[in-house]
Amino acid sequence: MRGQSFWSQVWQRFKQDRLAMLGALVLIGIFVLAIFAPWLAPQDPSHYDLAAVLQAPSTGHWMGTDDQGRDVASRLIHGCRISISVGFVAVGIYVLMGILIGGMAGYFGGWIDIVISRFIEVIICFPVFFLILTVLAFVGPSIYNIMIVIGLTSWTGIARLVRAEFFKRRSQDYVQAIRVVGGSTARVMWRHLLPNSLAPVLVSATFGVAGAILIESSLSFLGFGVQPPTPSWGDLLSQSRDYMDIAWWLTFFPGLAIFTTITAFNLVGEGLRDAIDPKMRGVK
């Protein structure tokens, strides 16, 4: 692989991981469902049909119907949009926060690092899920509030990663050379240190999307997430609680969707981790 760029080498190693590639293909399929949901869904996800209440899977309804006669397959396909949107927007928010805060702590050090590190430790003391529940109880549940709250409460892991990377690289020769020729602090931090520190951030963000999707599903299951009639996987599971004995499909298909998506993101994350640092392969 001599002569190839770093990311080209990462891609070559990633392609050799069959499980990671399988996860990537599954995610591509989920993205296609999310983007083209209005055209791929067999029916309107909000259409009520009281003559088809709790029908088992059939040719007319691939995954059956719910307690109001709505097509489960259509609601699952539209639910992809909610899960993917929440996952990527929430992770985008906390990755940006983590990079900014962790970058300042790692680059400047001293009292700035001490203050930021102690603040991170205080935030980590609070269980994230219960902190999110508490905030949503005050601001009210909605998809936008969920994205923002998850993002504002989950940035500490990224911040610690970026802090460690900046702290390790700030004294290297190329950084000192940039300073000598008059490079500004902002240029050193964001044009040189950050690009060389993104690999572990990318891996962590991939796992983070899976975590955000699971949190959103859990919140919707408890009634604090996306509100009906907007379809979401967690809400579909919540509706199934009263019909588990007579309508197995209401639990099975939403649970399978959540499990498959989270597993796919985790497989891709592990594949990226091993491709970026081959020494980590097989290390648990």
Per-residue confidence (pLDDT) for residue 120, from 0 to 100: 92
User: For position 281, what pLDDT does the model report?
Assistant: 53
**Tens digit of each residue's pLDDT (9 = 90 or more) over 37-55:** 999 988 888 888 887 888 8
**Closest by CA position to 61, among listed 249, 227, 256, 274:** 249
Distance set, CA 128 to CA 55, 122, 150, 153, 213 (Å): 38, 12, 8, 7, 14
Structure-block tokens of residue 202: 């990318």
pTM of the model: 0.88
Q: So where are the chain's domains?
A: 18-37+72-277
pLDDT at 4: 67
The domain covering 18-37+72-277 belongs, at the CATH homologous superfamily level, to MetI-like (1.10.3720.10)
Q: What digits encode the pLDDT tens for the residues 92-119?
A: 999 999 999 999 999 888 899 999 999 9
Ranges of the chain with pLDDT below 50: 283-284
- DSSP secondary structure letter of residue 65: B
Find the angle CA(7)-CA(103)-CA(207) to the nearest 5 degrees: 55
- With CA atoms as reference, report the closest residue to 34 among 87, 70, 92: 87
Dihedral, CA atoms, 100, 103, 107, 113, nearest 10 degrees? 80
Q: How far apart are CA 42 and CA 270, in angstroms?
A: 34
Q: Which residues face 71 on adjacent strands? A: 65
